[in-house]
Amino acid sequence: GFPAGSHDWGKYMIRKLLLTCAASVMALAGIASAQGTPVSGTILTSTWDINGSPYNIMGPVTVDSAHTLTIDAGVEVVFQADVRFNVEGALEVYGSESEMVVFRPMPAMEWGGIYLNAGVEANLGMSSYIEWAEITGAVSDTIGGAIHVSGMDTHLDISHSIIHHNSTPSYG
């Protein structure tokens, strides 16, 4: 031990306080990352990876024309609002058999589905891919259900995916 009032005792206490503060900051950072990444508005070319998951859709979103959103294996896309996921550019979802990409509602009981309309001139040659994904809980008031593809030049390939518990009154 250090005698009370010694210079070494003061250094020890400051070091202990700094370590305690650093541990608290690291714990809070861990809590923040567990809550995920809030998303709304326009999405430009980017990649959503497992480190930012879940991606919480807080309001209307649109992948902008001539841009690509890539979603990596194991990512969850959680709809906190009943909104549609608009894609005017390209969507590339690359899950895996052991780490599917999941689109689901929470706490909203439904969301508006994925609406692809990439058939504008700026997007010629762009395609969207959905591999190893689960899409659930989408409800459309008009058309489409879980996925709606519109536009003559809009291309979508889907493989190894589960699309369930979605609904629409027509064309779904």
Output the tens digit of pLDDT for each of the chain's 172 residues.
Answer: 555 555 565 565 565 555 454 444 444 433 334 589 999 999 999 999 999 999 999 999 999 988 999 999 999 999 998 899 999 999 999 999 999 999 999 876 789 899 988 665 555 567 899 999 999 988 877 766 788 888 777 788 999 999 888 887 665 5
- Rounded to whole angstroms, the Cα distance separating 75 from 78 reads 10
User: What pTM was computed for the model?
Assistant: 0.75
**Model pLDDT, residue 23:** 42
- Which residues are within 8 A (CB) of 36 and not within 5 positions of it... i.e. 6 or more apart? 52, 53, 54, 55, 56, 76, 78
Amino acid occupying residue 43: I
pLDDT at 129 (0 to 100): 92
* Contact indicator for 43, 69 with CB cutoff of 8 Å: yes
pLDDT for the residue numbered 86: 93
